[in-house]
Structure 1
Amino acid sequence: MSENNPLLRRVYALDGDKEETRRVYAEWAEQYDRDTLDGMGYVAPGLVARDAKVLDAGCGTGLAGVELKKLGFTNIDGNDLSREMLEVAGEKNAYGQLSEADLTVPLEIADDSYDAVISVGVFTSGHVKPKALDELARVTRKGGQIVVTVHEKVWEADGYPDYLEDMEMRGLVNIQAVKEAPYHRNEGYRCQICILEVL
């Protein structure tokens, strides 16, 4: 596909008219992947995934890191309280760096170090409280994302809804989404998946 293609010419000629933008992409939707990936050799989506620096906070044995790697992320660091869990995570070859860290105290990580931070299975009973989200925001660059799961048992009990609203009022994050999802299918537990944009 070259710029001689009428759709591509229209895309490059867009001037901010939202309705025209919608029309162009509506017409292009069915052919877009074929035109861009095959026709143009579009590689940007894969490059973004490979270049994004991600922290898996409380990575445990590395289950989330493996999933990130499957999605094309190659610049993943992990930390966890347990050295033994980190040893197992290291065997999965999904991480660049692994380090011991206690998420209940300030992290030994510079501000704005990561493009994104994930934390899966950490915000649960007897583990980490909502205040740890402040540290995750601190180590995430402005415009980056934090994605965490919060077990249903602690969601209301530990005050996560109010804490997230407070973070937003303090100008730390923008709450992009909070959605309920399965946590342990076999035991019937649910969690809230919180997606936050760092401000």
Structure 2
Amino acid sequence: MADHPMLKKVYSLKSPEANEEAYDEWATRYDHDTIEEMGYVAPQTAADKLAVTVPTGATVLDAGCGTGQVGELLAGHGFKTIDGLDISTSMLEVARGRKVYRDLHKADLTQKLPLDDDRYDAVVCVGTFTSGHVGPEALGEMVRVLRPGAPIVATVLDEIWEPQDFPSAIDRLERSGALRRIEIENSTPYRTAEGATSRLCVLTVA
């Protein structure tokens, strides 16, 4: 489990309002704490995976974009059209400063997203399917905003994979014909300083 005091705090959150408040507090130190102190490599892993999954001309939604770490990495791969959603205004302000996003919107990923159907060519979601944050119910909205055949590349913290029943949620979406499971990598590095791992999921909208 997390040792960093802010990570402990955000992993114990019980409501979207508490989530917003905590990340507003953490925004200015988030990049330093996660990258320098925790060895947070999940953004790089997911960005690299998306870069070999869709062409760089794709319109990408970064769901739970935080300070924009993933967006910056995607821009480094050559992606030009990236939108971001996050619940924290302060995190979005940091992301905006990176100047790699077309649009940034405040949104709660546990609710209906303020986006049209069939709008994106890909969704990337990193560091959001984790303790005290967002559960598998958010996958349905990601499917809705994606065009047919578009992928979701997402990390799911290993310690919540079974407790929050992600396998059953993905199975249900497959059985309903909403998406197809392309690849689920087990125990991919997430935060190297403490050895935390995640599932790296590649799912495709049917």
Residue equivalent to 2:205: 198
Amino acid at match of 2:70: A
Residue equivalent to 1:134: 140
Question: Please, what TM-score do these two structures have when normalized by structure 1?
Answer: 0.75
Q: Distance in 1 between matches of 2:102 and 2:143?
A: 21
Q: What is the Cα deviation at residue 48 of structure 1? A: 3.8
1:187 aligns with 2:204: no
Residue equivalent to 1:166: 172
Residue from 101, 107, 120 that aligns with 1:101? 107
Identity of aligned residues (%): 45
SS in 1 for 2:173: helix
Q: 1:55 to 1:186 in 2, by over 3 A?
A: same
Gaps of 5+ in 2: 1-51
Question: Please, what TM-score do these two structures have when normalized by structure 2?
Answer: 0.73
Q: What is the Cα deviation at residue 144 of structure 1? A: 0.5
Residue from 58, 71, 78 that aligns with 2:77? 71
RMSD across aligned C-alpha pairs, in angstroms? 1.3
Amino acid at match of 2:104: L
Number of positions where the alignment pairs a residue of Structure 1 with one of Structure 2: 153
Which structure has the higher relative contact order (CA within 8 Å, separation 6+)? 2
Residue from 164, 178, 187 that aligns with 2:184? 178
Residue equivalent to 2:131: 125
After TM superposition, the runs of 4+ consecutive aligned structure 1 residues lying more than 4 A away are none
SS in 1 for 2:149: strand
Gaps of 5+ in 1: 1-44
SS in 1 for 2:150: strand
Deviations 1:82-123 (A, max 9, x none): 000000001111100001000000001010000000000000
Q: Distance in 1 between matches of 2:197 and 2:67?
A: 21
Amino acid at match of 1:70: G
